[in-house]
Chains A and B, each alone.
Chain A
Amino acid sequence: MKNKKAVVYVRLKDGVLDPQGITIQRAISNMGYDMVKSVRSGRFFELEVEANDGGIERKVEEICGKLLANPVIENYQVEFEK
């Protein structure tokens, strides 16, 4: 059975404060790289999915909405590897 890889990116929504990103941006600036004006942090996940399972796109979306991302503060994006 061939597995397919789904890559999930989770990001904070626009307007949600990201103190971690702000702190990383300051560190970059302290390193001397003044051209970096802002940093937003996030997470990504790789899921190995059985490719012949019907409706995997919908199921992976469900997993993202219920578990991998918190829809109150985060957006997610799913990419399936060809």
Chain B
Amino acid sequence: MKFGVVTFPGSNCDYDAYAAVKLIGEDVEFLWHQSDDLKGSDVIILPGGFSYGDYLRSGAIARFSPIMKSVIKFANEGGLVIGICNGFQVLVESGLLPGALMRNEHLRFSCKYIHLRVENTAGPFTNECRPGEILKIPIAHKDGNYYNFQGDLEKLKAGKQILFRYCDKDGNITPESNPNGSMYNIAGITNEKGNIVGMMPHPERAVEEVLGSADGLKVFLSIRKYIMERVGVEKP
């Protein structure tokens, strides 16, 4: 199985994502933003960073790059896509995920470990987690304040599209544990079909205890498990 990591000008977590995939022993290749070739990837990672300098709005310019045309097609055909931080911003700007990521309520760049509660363990990105499991994973962003219309927020809840919410270390969803002002403490969501996920926290930065936490590995292991099972089903 192959992971493809997209590199935009200004991406800075592409090597971390690459290293995280290597750590679980799977194939991984970089995908250059000017190319439209996904190189046969089974899953696409849109990494963190500041694509195109975050000009205009975070993720707004990246959306129109040649590689994103292929990623959007791949995603609409059911391919697995995970957008982390700036990658999440690219996914909402592309319309692949609903809502918008606005400036943090406190206007500061926030870089620290936070806790997340896993709200749905059915899909490809969290099947290695227990329901309600608490993950310790870092954030590093200035535009992570998730916003949506009230009606669309209700749709997200009803569709079980909310994957991660900011919580305290015991799993309580509190205003104090919300690092950026996101609605409903939202840290990560999926599309309706569940094959596209966007999350502000960085699982690729929490894959070894020496980094402070290895909880992020569960996201990568979940993807692997999902693809292995899918391949198992497809094979005669």
Contacts and interface: CB of A to CB of B under 8 A. Distances in A.
Q: How would you classify the secondary structure of chain B's contact residues: helix, strand, loop or mixed?
A: loop
B64 interface: yes
Interface size range on B against A: 10 to 19
B93 interface: yes
Contacts of B60: 67, 70
A37 B92 CA distance: 33
A16 B106 CA distance: 15
A19 B93 contact: no
B105 A19 contact: yes
B100 A70 contact: yes
Interface residues on A, range: 10 to 19
Interface in B91-121: 92-93, 98-100, 102-107
Contacts of A23: 107
A56 B127 CA distance: 50
A35 B191 CA distance: 45
B103 A73 contact: no
Given A73-B102, A73-B147, A67 B56 contact: yes
Contacts of A20: 103, 107
B57 interface: yes
Given A16-B147, A20-B107, A23-B107, A68 B102 contact: no
Interface string B28-55: 0000000000000000000000000000
B195 to A, nearest CB: 21
Contacts of B104: 19
Contacts of B107: 19-20, 23
Nearest to B98: A72
A72 B91 CA distance: 13
B174 to A, nearest CB: 19
A26 B203 CA distance: 37
A26 B139 CA distance: 28
B105 A70 contact: no
5 contacts: A16-B102, A68-B56, A70-B93, A70-B100, A73-B100
Interface of B: 56-57, 60, 64, 92-93, 98-100, 102-107, 147-148, 181
Interface of A: 16-17, 19-20, 23, 67-68, 70, 72-73
